[in-house]
Amino acid sequence: MLPPAAGTAYGLRMALAPDEIERYARHLVLAEVGGPGQARLKAARVLVIGAGGLGAPLIQYLAAAGIGTIGIVDDDVVALSNLQRQVIHGTPDLGRPKVESAADAVARLNPHVAVSPHPARITPDNAVDLIRGYDLVADGSDNFATRYAVSDACFHAGRPLVTAALGRFDGTLTTIRAHETGPDGNPNPTYRCLFPNPPPPGSVPACAEAGVLGALAGVMGSLMAMEVIRAVADFGEPLVGRLLMVDARAMRFETLHYAWDPDNPLSGSGTSAE
């Protein structure tokens, strides 16, 4: 469950400093956000998996929006080939851990945001412990092993997950709330309902081999931030059961609907009780 709003003007004054009220003025005049929504954003703890192509714009917009605490998980260092798309880092950051470079960028952008760096690779062994300290998880990792580890852990920890992926000229985005029940009375779909099994090893080339359009990472990371902000501030319709697909070559956006699979290994009918 995401943090409750401060529901009165007095609560807003208590929650936001005077300079924050000016900083977030364009949010505060939005009826869908306003004081209560901005207070939710300030109270929220969001864990970002990956400070790379998707994580870079995602972290920047979450910080600009006033997310109170941003956790960043990444075990990599900044390389020159990253800078074509990983815009939170700069040339002076070459060789630095990405979590440190990203934390410095957040501090420059918004000193009201706390950053918790986690310079580690997320695995099935540590995922649940990392995730439990946050209200929502946003996964911008670049491999299926991490995506499955994160999505499984979010289910077991009862946390919403915003997850995206990049191809050469295409991207996808969805929200997983598999720990909750949908309007039809069935459980919401899990990540494994959408992608039951990872592709065979070697069938999906890595970014270094296939390439990726740099600005596409900015588009998809910004869409991730939008989905996180909407979930925390509690407005709009989340992408639960919907996969947003972006084709940058045709500038086409399409939506694929998917549903709970009763045979999925997390919440399906054959799942053994823990």
- Full strand arrangement of the beta sheet holding 242-247: 114-118, 69-73, 45-49, 136-139, 161-166, 170-176, 242-247, 252-257
207 is catalytic: yes
Q: What is the DSSP letter of 23?
A: H
> Which residues, 6 or more positions from 39, have their beta carbon under 8 angstroms from its beta carbon?
5, 6, 11, 12, 15, 16
Residue of 126, 184, 182 lying closest to 150 (CA atoms)? 126
The residue annotated as part of the active site, out of 207, 226, 243, 259, is: 207
Residues 6 or more apart whose Cβ sits within 8 Å of residue 51: 59, 72, 74, 76, 86, 88, 89, 98, 99, 101, 102
Q: Give the residue carrying structure tokens 């998917």.
A: 258
Q: Which of 106, 108, 119, 31 is nearest to 75 (CA)?
A: 119
The helix/strand/coil state of 8 is coil
Backbone angles phi, psi at 6, to 5 degrees: -85, 110
- Compute, in degrees rounded to 10, the torsion defined by CA atoms 199, 228, 73, 190: -40
Alpha carbon distance 32, 27 (integer Å): 9
Contacts of 45 by beta carbon, 8 Å cutoff, 6+ apart: 68, 69, 71, 133, 134, 135, 136
**Which residues are tagged catalytic?**
207
